[in-house]
Amino acid sequence: MAEVIRKTISILTAIKPTEDKEEWSVTEISRKLNMPLQTVHRLLGCLSDVGFVIRDRETKKFKLGLSIMELGLSIRDNLSVRNTALPIMEKLASQTKESVYLTVPEGHDGIFIDCIDSPQLLKITEPVGMRRPLCVAASKKVILAFLQTGKRQKIIKELDELGFVSNKDELMEELDIIQAQGFALSHGETTKGTVSVAAPIFSWENEVVGSISVAGPEHRFVGTRLHEFIKLTTKASCDVSEELGWFDQ
């Protein structure tokens, strides 16, 4: 298996576009890598099936596909979101004295990719890298609510089939409310006795690419304090979005 992976990576690396050349024949790849024609052809077929390479119908030659570009752009976007969000998250944590999280979507899940811990003794501490379905808790639901309609419906269908959705109609109604008000609020969905406020982050293409959330013990998220947290969180998410090139349409 390791050898197959190594050969596959060698092929992808070998057909990177240059100023002079964008596509290669099976024979050219075979010679360049000193790899049997049959092996090259078989691996290219597998890569083609998943969109990592595409074959020109006229020249019969191969080049990198859009799926590879999408992977690279997703990594770039996540890094860009994190780098942009971090100073704004630090400011939000200073203002609220609560834990602040940055969440990004991956498939039908949301993943915490960074956190600023609350300075208070009693605080919420969820691990960076924690993955949860997009239908669970404010930081994930606010992403799901603002996804493009087709993508949102597809993800909800997947989550429903996997058994993560207890009531599809109620979830859809909640997502509509989140979208209308511009933020999500959850009580104890990930950790009992906690409250979380989350707002979406948008890219320059007006697509939701993540969320910022503030979380803490429920007794500190009441009355005017809760309203202030909502105001500060939505302001922070707008600031990050604008730094990424988004403008409110």
State the DSSP code for 128: T
**38 has a pLDDT exceeding 60:** yes
Q: What pLDDT score does 19 carry?
A: 67
**83 has a pLDDT exceeding 90:** no
**170 has a pLDDT exceeding 70:** yes
Structural domains of the chain in order of their starting residue, each with its CATH number: 2-12+22-64 (1.10.10.10), 70-243 (3.30.450.40)
Question: Taking the complete model, does pTM exceed 0.75, yes or no?
Answer: no
Q: What is the mean pLDDT of the chain?
A: 89
Nearest to 216 by CA among 117, 113, 141: 117
**Residue 75 neighbours by CB distance under 10 Å:** 10
Query: What pLDDT digit, counting tens, does each position of 193-245 carry?
Result: 899 999 999 998 899 999 999 999 999 999 999 999 999 999 999 999 999 88
Q: Would you state the structure tokens that stand for residue 44, as one six-digit string?
A: 């290219």
Report how far apart, in Å, the C-alpha atoms of 69 and of each of 6, 35, 53, 166 are: 20, 25, 10, 36
Across residues 48-54, what is the average pLDDT? 86
Percent pLDDT > 70 in the chain is 94
d(CA 78, CA 81): 5
